[in-house]
Each structure stands twice: as structure tokens, then as C-alpha cells.
Structure 1
Amino acid sequence: RWMAAAAAEEAMGFPAVSSGPLLASCRPLLSLLAENEHKLKQYALEQMDKIVDYNWAEIADHIEQIEELYEDEKFSHRELAALIASKVHYHLEQFSESLTYALGAGTLFTDQIASGKPSQYVFTILSKVIDQYIAARIERSESGSDAEPVDARLEAIVESMFDRCFSEGNIKQAVGIALESRRLDKLEECITVSGDRTGTLAYTLEACQTLVQSRTFRNTVLTVLVQVYRTLETPDYQNICLCLMLLEDDKAVAAQLGELIKRDDEESELMAYQIAFDLCGSDMQHFLLAVRSGLPVPASERQSAEAATTAEGGEEKTEGDTEMKDVEAPKELSEAEKKLETRVKNLRKILSGETTIGIHLEFLFRNNKTDMLILNNIKSALEVRNSITHQATVFANAVMHCGTTVDTFISQPENLEWLKRASNWAKFSATACVGMIHKGCINSSRNVMKAFLPPETGMSSQPYSEGGALYALGLIHAGHGEGILKYLSNELKKIKNNETVQHGACLGLGLAGMASANDEIYEDLKDVLFQDNAVAGEAAGLAMGLVMLGTASEKACEEMLAYAQDTQHEKIIRGLAIGMALIMYGREEGADTMIEQLTRDKDPILRYGGMYTIACAYSGTGNNSAIRRLLHVAVSDVSDDVRRAAVTCLGFVLTNTPEQCPRVVSLLAESYNPHVRYGSALACGIACAGTGMQEAIELLEPMTKDST
């Protein structure tokens, strides 16, 4: 609740210690509480209110009498009794009771909030008020009409907080409380009264993406922001389209881009291109495909489509029918139509990723600073017959040169003989690494891999190289596979009895069709899965998840779960488990049903998949409930594999808040169980990658001496 606490602190000022007379004893005043005369009780309470911060321990022995006075509806100063009872409970650190009586004190408490110098007591109770109000609002929001109405006294205090924030210009603090308490009306008011609407909108959008944990409420806020952005004097089209992208509203994005490119000014055209580049950076392939198909259709394409329809729909003339009709020539396009056609083609090219990939490739090639001497020294220092270190060196080369197209190390004559030592799956991986080096060469991918691809006719002679080559094509076209999907699909259908080549083809198809939600590819992969071959089936399960990445497809999940529970092959179960996790990528609470199913399954491999489903669904969110669930499994599951996966997945959930990861896994890193320690190291590596964080290094360094 840091946003709420910050709001209280900003609105109220730094808390000051209250002052008052210090008495040796307040027994005389306490004795007056037993009198029948109300005025004597009133006098005692008024004096106790002045000294309660100093004599609270003595007053605490008589707290029941003070509470009884508050409960006596005939007593005219009930609110004063409630205020004193609240302060005593506060000093006893019984904050829940203190809050209850503070609310009962009515204006006596709220007047202290409005004072210029609130005490530590007021500041603390105010924080509790905001916490309770937020909890009540969230419960009401999630339960709907069944929930009890929010306490009117809480509502009044929070309303006064909003008013004070508005009057003092603390708009960001008000935005924080509005988001935490799900008050859309106040959120809109914050933006309306702000002197810097653009800045407030930017802050709200950032807070919405990073701090609002409920996906449903976040989408509601984004919808409101779209409406507000449109009302600005100069609409912020970039942020409008960003919000629409987060809402996955491809039709609205396409309509907005279409509106911009139809305008006659250059600024709108450039804005459309910039938005397209921003969208392309999301790598949501199914979304980008939908946006492209929703763009305005150029006049030339409409004419071609109409001509084709007319030709196909025309009835054949009978033998005796000699009537002839002039074929209508295509109309010449106007300057405006030609300009629109050019702009649409440019947008399609950007959204396909072709433009970005080309720029990225050129950048990596120009800025390639890899030191070949390092690789040669590694190669010469390692034992020739050790297959593990041989493969590690090949991987090191691929990582160093990823996307640069620089394959000089593997093409050097002295290294060719060394590379030939790779056999079986090592050869598969080595061939796939060529695809990693040439990642992004989507226009020449088949030429690059020509020497390794399966022959067009005849039987497969080098299954590991051929399977690795098909996998390499997927790596080259990852997320942008329109140009290679048909080829990979045909190759998969041609291969019937070679599980190694099928394995590579499935992985290649999954990567090339990643997040495309292409049903045809999904069905092709499902056919391979149903062959019940362990090696090919594992890859098919993974690929099905990649194709449906982030779609939360119920049909796909049901089919994959049913088959995973039916098959006897552990490899297939594992592939399907990770595949289902990928399908739920980014769905947050929308994945909870699937998470519950997997984590309660008796098969440890499916529970293992449940952990990765949590990781994918809540990746980068820092969601508290996801972290709690992973920590619970990390210390309670009977399977070491599941426990290791649970700890590892903490790293994925905390990727956007890496500073929290070492603290969360610090105790797990000292576990007696080596699998849990293993997971802790991986979690730190995943969450803190590239940060150079000292806390992570201090946690990992002792593990380098771990004997297990």
C-alpha cells in the first residue's frame, strides 16, 4: 500500500509528536468515571484526552469503562470516549480496535486529520483507514452486488483525503488512492482537475501497467484512458493505440491507423508509421496479423477482388448464346488513391516486421565486436573427446554471434573437422545454432540452410542435421514466419517415420508460427502428437503451446490436458505441460482455473507444468498471490522437480522488480534440499539478469562452492 501511504503522508504532512501535560498519575480522573453525574465523566474524559499519550498504560487498565461510555447512547460525549479508547488501543498496538473506535469518534477524529499538524496516531490510523477502505472496495468490486456496502465513515474520510489532495495539488497521490481503491470516478476527476493533464495521464498509464494487479480492472482503466486521451485538444494517438493494444482491440487499432493515413498531412502519416513500429515491438503476431487485415483496402486491390469475383461468379454461356460483353478495363487511380495505397503498403511492411528486422540485422552486423580469439582459445583448451564441452563451445559461438550473420568460426577450414565430431543430438543442436547466428535473415533463410535441409525427393540420410536445419528455420523466422510456414508444414507432412526430423520440424513450426493462433498449424502438430511418439510428441506439445502463445484457448488446453492425462510417455506429458503454460502467457487471473487444475493433479509432471503456468501467466507482474502460491509449493510438494520449478518460477514473476528476488529466495537458497537451492540460483539469474545487483551476487557466490 505504498501509494496510499505516500498519499497520506503528502496530504497530511510529516507526523509530529503530540504534546500535553505529564501527570504522575491519572487515578483521580479515572475514579470520576465511576460517578453518576455525566458532567464529571465529561470532565474526566476531556482531561484524559490531553494526557493519554503519556499515561496510556494506566488508562488501559480502565479501558472497559471508557468503552462502556461510548456504547451508552444516552451519554452525550460518546465520541470523546471513543477517541480516548482509540488512542489507548493505538498505544497497545491493537490497530484494528483503534480504527474501530476512531471511526466512532466521528468529527473529533476527522478534525484532527484536517489540522495542520497531525500526530503520529492520526497518521497511523489514517493509513489503516485507507487500507481498510481499499480492501472493502476491492471485495465489493470482485463480489458485485453480494458484498456489503462500504462503511460510510470510511468513505467520508477518504473523500476528504481526495479533496485535500486536489486542493494542495497532490494529484499523483490522489491517482494512487483512486487506482488502489478502484474509484474510476475519482480517477477521471484527478485527470480533469490536474493542471498537467498530459503528465497525469502518463503517470496513470504507467501506474496502471505496473501496479494494478487485477487484469479485469486494468482493462477497465485502460478503456477510460482511451476515452480521456481522445478528448485532449491534440489527441495522443500513440498512447491511444498503446492502450488499445493492451486491451487487444485490433479492430480499433486498425481503424485508428486507417484514419491517420487517410489524412492529407505528413505528420499524421509519420504518426501512423511510428505507432506501427511501436506495435511491432510487442511481438504479438496474431494481433499484428489482425491489425494488418483490418487496414483500409487500397482501390487497386478492391478492383482486382471485384474482377476475380465477377469472373468466378459469371455463368458459362450456352453453345447458342453468342452475346459478347466488353471487358471493363481497370479504372485509373487518382492521386489520393495512389497515395493511400503507398501508405497502406508501408504500414503492412512495418507491421509484418520486415522493416524492423532489416534494421536490426544491419545494426548487429555493424556493431559486431566479438573476439574470435576467445572462441579459438576455448576450443583448443578443451578436451577433444568431451562431447559436453564441444557442444558448449558451439552454443557459445551461437550466443556471441546471434543475429549478426557472422559464421566465420564454423566455416573456417580448421574448424570444420572439429565440428564433424558432433554426433546424434549434438549434431542436431550444432545445425540449429546456424539458425541462431542467422536469426532474422527471413528473405534468404532457405539458401542459408540449403546444405542441411531434407532432400526434396528420396529418404532422409542425415536425420539429425535435417531436423536441426528445420529447427534453425524456425529460429530464423521466430515470430515472423509467414514466408516459411507453408514449407515447414509440407515438410512435416512428408515425414512419416523419422521422429528426429519430426522433432525439428515441430519446433521450427512452433517458433515460426509463434503467437499466430493458426488453427491449420495447430492441427498439423496435433496429428504428430496423436502418433504417440515420445521424441516427436514432446516437440509437438511445445510447438502447440508456442502457436497458441498467450491466447488462453480453452479448446487447445482441454485437448492437451486430456492427452497428457491419457499418454504414458513422460516426454510428451512434459512437452504438453509447458505448452499449456505458454498458452496462458500474460493472462494473469484468467489462467487461475488452469493453474488450479494442473497444481492439483496427481502427476508430478503436470504439477511441474502448473508452476510454469503461474510463471507465464504472471510473468513480470510481481503478483502477491502468485508468489505466495509458488512459495507454498516450494516447501510442501513431495516432488523435488516440482519444488525446483516453483522456486525457479519466482524469477519470472519478479522480472520487473529484480531487487525483490534475492530477498524472497534468500532463505530458500540455504535449504537442505539441493533442488530448492538450484531453483533459487536460477530464480536470481532470471530476475536479476543484466543488473549487476550486489545482493544477487552475494547470494549466488556461496553457491559456487556448493558440493552438490
Structure 2
Amino acid sequence: MVRPHSSAAGVLALLSEPEPVLKEHALKSLNTIVPQFWAEISEQIELIESLYESEELSDEARSSAALLASKVYYYLGEYDEALSFALSAGSAFEAEGRIPGAEEYVETVISKAIDRYVEARSKEEVGGEKIDSKLQGIIEGLLHRCISEGEYRQAIGIALESRRLDIVSDIYKKTRDVSLLSYAMDAVLDTGFSLSYRNEVLKFLLPLFPLPSRKDKSPHVHSLTRLLVSLGSPELTVPYLKSFVPNEKLLAYQLAFDLVEGGAQDFLESIRTELPEGDATTKEIYDQIREILAGQESVKLYLEFLKSNNKTDMLILKHTKDSLEGRSSIYHNALTLQNAFMHAGTTSDSFLRENLEWLALASNWAKFSATAGLGVIHKGHFVEGMNILGPYLPQQGVESGIPGAIYSEGGALYALGLINAGCGSGRQVEGYLRETLKAAQSEVVQHGAALGLGVAGMGGKNAEAYEDLKSTLFNDSAVSGEAAGYAMGLIMLGTGSGECADEMLTYARETQHEKIIRGLAIGIAFLYYARQEQADSVAESLLDEKDPLLRYGGVYTLALAYAGTSNNDAIRKLLHVAVSDTSDDVRRAAVTALAFLLFKNPSQVPRIVQLLSESYNPHVRCGATLALGIACAGTGLQDAIDILEPMTKDSVDFVRQGAYIALGLILVEQSEASSPTIASIRTTYNKVIGNKHEDPMARFGAVIGQGLIDAGGRNVTISLQSRAGTRNMSAIVGMVLFCQFWYWYPLAHCASLAFEPTGIIGLDAKLRAPKFEFISNAKPSLFAYPQPTQPPKKETVTKVATAVLSTTAKAKAREKRKAAAEGEAMDTDEKEKKDGDVEMKSDEAGADKHGDVSPLTGSMSGLPESPNSPEPNTQKLPNFSRVTPAQMAYVTFPPDSRYQPVRAVSTLPPRKGHATASSIANMEKFAGGGGVLILTDLRPEQEPEYIEFTTVHVTPQTEASEDPDRWRHIALDENAPEADPPEPFEYPFDSDT
């Protein structure tokens, strides 16, 4: 019997034969058996190379020798050598791609070829160095083969990798498929391309996109929005907006609203400034665009949406309040945050009004946080913000000096920033906060003013505000300095300013206050938001620091710089830190930071953090919970839930805390029909909160999770990207600050910056909201609001006979005889209960065993009116209705509807058929879209019927006021509809003196 390797040895022997024919036969034979006998063949690699160089052999035989050498080097792990010989093999290597079983070898070599080609292209652009013609040929052949076979996306991917933008242009000219341009844009934005090359590609793609039109509902408006926001260039955006004026003004309005979703303050303000004044025909249109770009119009609409659709379940809050001890600072903070999250943006402070006694229990920083919660509840309520906070703000910019009052004053300043989050630049609120910061003497008031200034002026790049914060920092107060560090980074968000980074890092190394170092470390991270490779040197420097607080900042610098890119190098560095750093805090942060890199690919996160969630280190496990929660927020991803549910039983309290919070983030706006685990999670929250023997940290996490799962009156989702698919700067920053609740509870309020209202808000050409209906192609129960918690049922008395002691019976017999003797019959009250019976409680008769009755419709929510009637497959919804992200792909406007949107409702193609629970669960990604939709009126001759708003709003014209005390006496627009203001009342904070 011949051993298997003997055949390989025999063929190898033929390579030394003098006859060329035998050598050619041996080379061809060896090429077919390399995967099995590469180890034996590798012993003759020098001979094979010499045959490739031999002039005695034919070109075909020499190509076979080169291919054989390439394969051997591939199996030896020498990929550069494998590529070099593959290039020399020429057509023999190209033919190898069609042989079954050789795919992995070919793909690896091609990948190396692309890498070398990219490197060679860079050298050619810089120094004029010519590219190897063989390398050029293999790339050209690969591209043409993909195009000829209709594999356009693969060809675009290779073209982007090899920096051949001409190929992208050629493919589009051939196909005229705009979706391919969107694919190219997504590919360069969501992967690890350098910032400079990314911008080069985006600028190349912009003119290729055809001008949108209203007729086709412009599905690529989302892509254009993402492209323009990603570039952040007013010079490119303004001409694009101008191209719509005056003929396509509705599309100009739509683009302006979409830009506001993801654009930074300075970017939007620059567009407003550079827009022309216009002539008699266009002036009104440009003024309207400027008003939209100010951001206040969007906030006003979402404020009205959240206020009118508020479905907050007050019984949940009541249960939490009754279960927790109000005098405990951690529990008071927990309920404060829960109430703020559940009422975020709704302007409803009814819970606070009804629980003044509980509110009065707040002291010191709990009072600060409770007042700051008003900013979350009234977020976006620009007009009434100062009036609501008036009783707590420092009067005339000077704190009262009353003991305990400084905490409510500081909290009110922070709340003012939250109300104006991301919209403070260009508004007098920023000036007010700056003046208050400079005048304040108390570090508590300075802390609140600094945080408020940072959040309100986020991304505004106001140099004067930065200098004011720097002066506060140099006072070297731990409390105010920490807030100043955060705020300096927020003001200069994404500038990548080396000067600012040097100043902040130098001071962080000099100060002895851990709070200040931590604030500056995160502040530096904010400077490098979205700067990608420009942040590498700073991140490396911070990660090499001896101080773990600065390494902590290095982790977030890396995460923010590459946010949403899924950059492999950044992920690799974070994973290395997560398993090797000597500080638990840094390791926890490194795992959490993975979420900011991967939030655009949430399905990958459970696989990546699975092992980390089982780490022996509880801090690493805790980081894994937050990584899952933040990256998978709002998706209801079952893979993430399957990891988190066992972690709610972890032996360490703060790991359980993280798991409860993460589940709240993931399950926000999920229904029981689409996510069957949500009912058990809600039950778990109630049990943990009501269990007085549970650890306080775990109960805190359950309270926060319960608040997040029902955030914004059950009308918001939590997402780190905008509806168009761009990075949501405000949300990313908000979640980074939220993660710092580990050290400072008031920062948890910043989670509200990631709350995204989910609804369809239709506006006509006058930017007013007409009444109309659209269709959701799904069963109502699939995306229904959760059923409200039922109050305790009425109780009836059931009579149960109990054992009676003999002494008791004798005593009663004596009483009866005595009563009879006196002529008085003993009334035993037989109609109500017998002597000795004990009251037992039972549910009220007639209680529904199958569901809760809706107080609005009189029928059970999500269920048919009659048990025998099937639930409908579609549902009509009016304007300003909640539409969850998963539901968006199933929304259609009837063809005969008077109003039609000027762009596609969703970023995904409309789903065919009706939505089912399984179709939602199997969606690879959730559809963005919705939000503010500009509508075309197909029947303008008919008088429209409008929705009446209840929230007074301010316009840019009202904004221009010379009253120095304007913020205390806001002059409302005379044309704005007025609503009855809420009755004033003061929270009982003065009791803490």
C-alpha cells in the first residue's frame, strides 16, 4: 500500500528531471494537491522559484511555477510573498478564482493586492511613483469581472478600497441607480476609512446625486442629508439649498428640517448666515429656511407631539415612591431621574405637584438633581423655561445666600441648559449663563452654571464661553472645576483643537483634585469627537499615562473619535485595554466604549461582548451590560436580552444595576407582541423596587431602567443616530455623560439628550399641521402602547370559619345569658358576618380575566372588540401619531390622500405585506425616518383643517429683544396661539435650611 505522501514525493522528484515536459507536468500536478501536501512541497520552494526564473520552460510552465510558489507561501503564512508570486502567475492566478476550494486563498491574496495597491496609489499621488503594471492588471481585471457579472456593490467596495473613484462614477453612469451612490456613501462612512479620504469621497459623490424631485418622493433625500451633515461644509450645503428655491421650496424646507436632526450648532448657524436675503419672489422662502435651521421650529413641534401624546403611567411612579425611602439620597435621586425620564419633553410636572411632601425631603445635591429634572421635563420649552425656573434661579445673577438654596439655584441653571440643549448659541440664554457663572461665588452655583452652559452651547465653539469656563477651572475648586472640564469640551466639541487639548491636559496633570482630572479627561475626549485618525496621537498619549483617570479619558477619546465607524483598530485597542489595564474603572470604561463604535451594527455587539459578560472581574461585566444597552438601544434585540437577563441575578450589585439599566435602554418602545420578554422584565423591575432587602444600587438601576423603558411619555426611542442615518451628536454626547452617573448622579439627566421622539408630524407649505390620516400596515397590537397599570382592585369580604378557643366560647355564652337576663337580645349581625369569621380579600367580581380595559376607548388595547372578531391587519393613524422606528417601514400614505410627503417616509424600502411579530424580529436594522414631513397638498383649492397647538412658541422675530431682563419677562409673539399657563407654585425646598 502506498502512503499518501509518497505520491507528492514522486511528483516532486520530477521537478529535478532534465526534461522540461516532465517539469511542466509536475508543476501542474502539484498545483492541484497543495492544500494536502503543502508541508512537503515547501521543502522544495527554492527549486520551484528557480523554475519560475528558468528560461528553458514555457511561459505557461513558468506561470504554473509562480502560482505554486504563491500557494505554498500562502500556507506558510507569508502573504506578501504569496502576493508577489501570484502577480507573476498572471492569467494562471486569475483562472484559479474559478476552481472550487480555492476561494479562501484567492480572497486572501486579492485582499493583500488591494492593500498594496492602496499603498502604491498613495505613493503615486505624493511622489509620482509608478504602480507595478502586474498589480494594476490584477485590480483592473477584478473590477471589470465584477462589473460584467453585475456585482456592482462588490465592485464599488473594491473601488473604494483601492481609491478608484472613477470606477464608482462609471458604474453610476452605466446603471443610473442612485441606491449605488447611497451604498458607496454608507460604505465610506460606516467603515474604517480615514477622515481625509472619507471627505474626498463624499465631495466626489455629491454632484453625482440627481436633484431630488417631489414626484418620486425622493428616496435619496435621506442620503443627501447624511452626506451634507457628515461633511459639515456650509460652502457645499448653501448652493444645494439654493438650487431648490423657488421651484422646489417644499424640498428645501424638508432638507432644512433634516439637517437640523444631525447638524452641529455652528454648522447650522453658518448656513443661516450664508443664505442670501432673496428678492421679492424668494425672500419669504429663505426667511422660512433660516427659521427652520434655527432649530426652534423642530423643537416646538416635538414638544407639542410629546405633550399631546403623553401616556405616562402615574401608578408606576407611585409604586416607586411608596416602595423607596424618600429621605435616602440615592433613592430620592432614583425617583427624581425616573420621573424626569418618564415625563421628558412632556412639560407635565403633575407628579411633583402632587408629591410636594416627598419633594421636600430632598437635601443638598439631591435638591440640585431634583431641580435639574425640571430641565428634562421641559426640554425644548424655550418660552416658558425661564418662567418655570424663575423661583429657583439666582436673582439678578447673584445667589441668595440662604443655606440650602444654592443647590436649587445650581440645579436650576443646569436645568436651563437642558431645556436649551444644543440650541443655546445665538440665544440670550448662553449670555445669561455666562454672566451668572462669572458672578457666582458658590461652587455649587458655578457647577450648575458650567454644566448648563456646556449643554446649551454644545458644539457652538463660542471662544468667550470657553474662556469663562477656563477661568472657573483655574479657581481649582473640585466641584466647579469638574463641571468646567466637561463644559469646555462640550463648547469646543469636535474641533480637534490641539491648543485647547494642551491647556486642559496640562492642568489635569497639575491639579490634585480627582473630580477636575476626570472632568478634563472627558472634556478632551469631546474635543476629538468624529476626528478619527486626528485623535490617534492624543488617545495614545492618554492611554500611556500613569494616572488611571487620564487613561479613562483616553478610552473615551478613542470611542468618540471613531464613533459609529466600527473601526477595527480602535475596537482592538479597547479590547486590549479591557483585559489588561490595572484600573477597574478604565477596564469598565473600555468595554462600555465599544458601544459608541458599534451602535450602527448592534447585532454584532452581543457576539463581541459575550465573553466579557462572563469575566471574573465585575467591572468588566458591568461595562458589558452598558455596552449592550447603549449599542442596542431601542432595538429590542433578543440576543442582547438573552445575555442581560441572567446578569440581573449576578452576585454583584452594580452588575445587576447595569443589567437593569441596559434592559430599559433596549426595550424602550417595545410592545409585548413584538418583544415577548418585556412583560417579565417589567415584573422584575416591580419586584426589585419593592424588595426592601435588595441592595440599594440594584434598586437604583431598576428604577432608572423602568424610567428609560417608558421615556418621554412612551413616545420616544433612544438612538445614537439620526433618522437619516448620521451620527446624532447630541445623543452620543448625552450617553457619554450619562455613563458618568457612576461618579455623579446629576449627570444621568443627560440621557435625555438621546431621546428621539418617534412620530409622523406632517406640515404643509405654510409649515402648519393639517389634519389627515395615513396607514400602518400592521396589527394595532404589534405597535400598541403598553396597557396602563391597573389600580388596586376593590376588595370584598369572604367569610371563613375559624377555630374558636373553648375559653372564648364560654365567655360568649356567659355574655348571651347575661343579655337575655336583661331582656336584650344580642345582635349577632348575621347579615354581615358571623362571630369568629375572618375577612379574606378577593378580586372584585366581574374583573376581566383576559386584559385591561382602556379608559379611552372602552375596549382592551391591542385586542379586538369581540373575542370572535379577528384583529385587523391595518390601522389608520392621524397626523401627530406615535410611529415606532420598527413600524416606520410599514407606513404608507393612501394614493387618494390629499396630502403626500415630498420624500420617502422611511430610510428603508417600504415593506411588502403586513407586519408580523416575526418580520419585526428578523429585521436586520430598524428603519429610520418619519419625524417632520413636509407635505404636498394635492387639493389646494379646498380649505385645510389644522391641528390647534396648545404650546406657545417663540419665533426668531420675537427673539430680537433689547430688554436686558428679557428672560424674566418674555414677550410672546402676538400671532402665536396662547395657552393658559400652569398655576404657579414653589417646590418646598426652603425647608432644608
Both structures adopt the same fold (TM-score exceeding 0.5): yes
Alignment-derived partner of residue 311 in structure 2: 369
- Please give the alpha-carbon distance, in whole angstroms, between the structure 1 residues aligned to 2:268 and 2:454: 17
Q: Deviations over 1:417-471 (max 9, x none)?
A: 1110000000000000011101110111111111211123673331001111111
**Residues 489 and 59 from structure 1, CA distance in 2 versus in 1: closer, same or farther, beyond 3 angstroms?**
closer
Is 200-209 or 461-470 further displaced after alignment?
200-209
CA contact (8 A) 1:140 1:147 kept: no
**Residues 229 and 537 from structure 1, CA distance in 2 versus in 1: closer, same or farther, beyond 3 angstroms?**
same
Gaps of 5+ in 1: 1-21, 299-335
Alignment-derived partner of residue 505 in structure 2: 561
Alignment-derived partner of residue 149 in structure 2: 168
Alignment-derived partner of residue 136 in structure 1: 116
- Please give the alpha-carbon distance, in whole angstroms, between the structure 2 residues aligned to 1:420 and 1:637: 44
- Please give the alpha-carbon distance, in whole angstroms, between the structure 2 residues aligned to 1:608 and 1:506: 22
Alignment-derived partner of residue 21 in structure 2: 39
Map 1:683-702; keep pairs closer than 5 Å: 683-702=627-646
**Residues 23 and 573 from structure 1, CA distance in 2 versus in 1: closer, same or farther, beyond 3 angstroms?**
closer
| From 647, 650, 660, the counterpart of 2:591 | 647
| From 94, 101, 126, the counterpart of 1:120 | 101
- Please give the alpha-carbon distance, in whole angstroms, between the structure 1 residues aligned to 2:583 and 2:15: 63
Map 1:672-691; keep pairs closer than 5 Å: 672-691=616-635
- Please give the alpha-carbon distance, in whole angstroms, between the structure 2 residues aligned to 1:85 and 1:574: 56
Is 270-279 or 151-160 further displaced after alignment?
151-160
Is 47-56 or 665-674 further displaced after alignment?
47-56
- Is residue 368 of structure 2 the alignment partner of residue 428 of structure 1? yes
CA contact (8 A) 1:489 1:521 kept: yes
| From 325, 333, 348, the counterpart of 2:290 | 348
| From 478, 498, 501, the counterpart of 2:421 | 478
CA contact (8 A) 1:129 1:154 kept: no
Map 1:219-618; keep pairs closer than 5 Å: 219-229=199-209, 242-261=226-245, 263=246, 265=247, 268-297=248-277, 336-337=279-280, 339-412=281-354, 415-456=355-396, 459-461=400-402, 462-481=405-424, 482-495=427-440, 497-618=441-562
**Residues 166 and 453 from structure 1, CA distance in 2 versus in 1: closer, same or farther, beyond 3 angstroms?**
same
The alpha carbon displacement at 1:128 in A equals 2.1
Give secondary structure in 2 for the equivalent of 1:120. Answer: coil
Is 577-586 or 636-645 further displaced after alignment?
636-645
Alignment-derived partner of residue 317 in structure 1: none
The alpha carbon displacement at 1:139 in A equals 3.0
1:491 partner letter = T
- Please give the alpha-carbon distance, in whole angstroms, between the structure 2 residues aligned to 1:525 and 1:26: 76
CA contact (8 A) 2:327 2:362 kept: no
**Residues 231 and 139 from structure 1, CA distance in 2 versus in 1: closer, same or farther, beyond 3 angstroms?**
farther
2:66 partner letter = A
**Residues 42 and 509 from structure 1, CA distance in 2 versus in 1: closer, same or farther, beyond 3 angstroms?**
closer
Alignment-derived partner of residue 181 in structure 2: 201
1:217 partner letter = Y
- Is residue 53 of structure 2 the alignment partner of residue 71 of structure 1? yes
Is 212-221 or 355-364 further displaced after alignment?
212-221
Alignment-derived partner of residue 80 in structure 1: 64
Give secondary structure in 2 for the equivalent of 1:443. Answer: helix
CA contact (8 A) 2:521 2:550 kept: yes
Higher normalized helix content (fraction of residues): 1
- Please give the alpha-carbon distance, in whole angstroms, between the structure 2 residues aligned to 1:167 and 1:407: 64
Alignment-derived partner of residue 195 in structure 2: 215
Is 553-562 or 25-34 further displaced after alignment?
25-34
The alpha carbon displacement at 1:207 in A equals 1.9
Give secondary structure in 1 for the equivalent of 2:244. Answer: helix
Give secondary structure in 2 for the equivalent of 1:281. Answer: helix
- Please give the alpha-carbon distance, in whole angstroms, between the structure 2 residues aligned to 1:570 and 1:671: 28
- Please give the alpha-carbon distance, in whole angstroms, between the structure 2 residues aligned to 1:52 and 1:690: 50
Aligned length: 637
Alignment-derived partner of residue 662 in structure 1: 606
The alpha carbon displacement at 1:642 in A equals 1.8
The alpha carbon displacement at 1:148 in A equals 7.4
> Normalising by structure 1, what TM-score?
0.83
The alpha carbon displacement at 1:608 in A equals 1.1
**Residues 559 and 111 from structure 1, CA distance in 2 versus in 1: closer, same or farther, beyond 3 angstroms?**
same
Is 569-578 or 229-238 further displaced after alignment?
229-238
How large is the Cα RMSD of the aligned pairs? 2.9
The alpha carbon displacement at 1:558 in A equals 2.0
- Please give the alpha-carbon distance, in whole angstroms, between the structure 1 residues aligned to 2:608 and 2:35: 38
CA contact (8 A) 2:525 2:558 kept: yes
Alignment-derived partner of residue 632 in structure 1: 576
CA contact (8 A) 1:165 1:171 kept: yes
- Please give the alpha-carbon distance, in whole angstroms, between the structure 2 residues aligned to 1:361 and 1:542: 27
> Normalising by structure 2, what TM-score?
0.60
**Residues 390 and 225 from structure 1, CA distance in 2 versus in 1: closer, same or farther, beyond 3 angstroms?**
same
- Please give the alpha-carbon distance, in whole angstroms, between the structure 2 residues aligned to 1:53 and 1:613: 45
Gaps of 5+ in 2: 653-993
Alignment-derived partner of residue 15 in structure 1: none
**Residues 408 and 26 from structure 1, CA distance in 2 versus in 1: closer, same or farther, beyond 3 angstroms?**
closer
The alpha carbon displacement at 1:281 in A equals 0.5
| From 179, 189, 200, the counterpart of 2:170 | 189
- Please give the alpha-carbon distance, in whole angstroms, between the structure 2 residues aligned to 1:168 and 1:649: 41
Give secondary structure in 2 for the equivalent of 1:525. Answer: helix
The alpha carbon displacement at 1:29 in A equals 4.8
Q: Deviations over 1:552-581 (max 9, x none)?
A: 222322221222122222211111111111
- Please give the alpha-carbon distance, in whole angstroms, between the structure 2 residues aligned to 1:662 and 1:433: 33
Alignment-derived partner of residue 700 in structure 2: none
CA contact (8 A) 2:406 2:445 kept: yes
Is 427-436 or 646-655 further displaced after alignment?
646-655
Alignment-derived partner of residue 705 in structure 1: 649
The alpha carbon displacement at 1:290 in A equals 0.8
CA contact (8 A) 2:192 2:567 kept: no
- Please give the alpha-carbon distance, in whole angstroms, between the structure 2 residues aligned to 1:390 and 1:458: 25
Alignment-derived partner of residue 5 in structure 1: none
- Please give the alpha-carbon distance, in whole angstroms, between the structure 2 residues aligned to 1:670 and 1:640: 15
CA contact (8 A) 1:506 1:540 kept: yes
- Please give the alpha-carbon distance, in whole angstroms, between the structure 2 residues aligned to 1:200 and 1:567: 53
The alpha carbon displacement at 1:635 in A equals 2.3
Give secondary structure in 2 for the equivalent of 1:160. Answer: helix
CA contact (8 A) 2:599 2:631 kept: yes
Q: Deviations over 1:300-337 (max 9, x none)?
A: xxxxxxxxxxxxxxxxxxxxxxxxxxxxxxxxxxxx52
Map 1:51-66; keep pairs closer than 5 Å: 65-66=47-48
Give secondary structure in 2 for the equivalent of 1:244. Answer: helix
**Residues 655 and 381 from structure 1, CA distance in 2 versus in 1: closer, same or farther, beyond 3 angstroms?**
same
Q: Percent identity?
A: 49
- Please give the alpha-carbon distance, in whole angstroms, between the structure 2 residues aligned to 1:386 and 1:458: 27
- Please give the alpha-carbon distance, in whole angstroms, between the structure 2 residues aligned to 1:605 and 1:47: 62
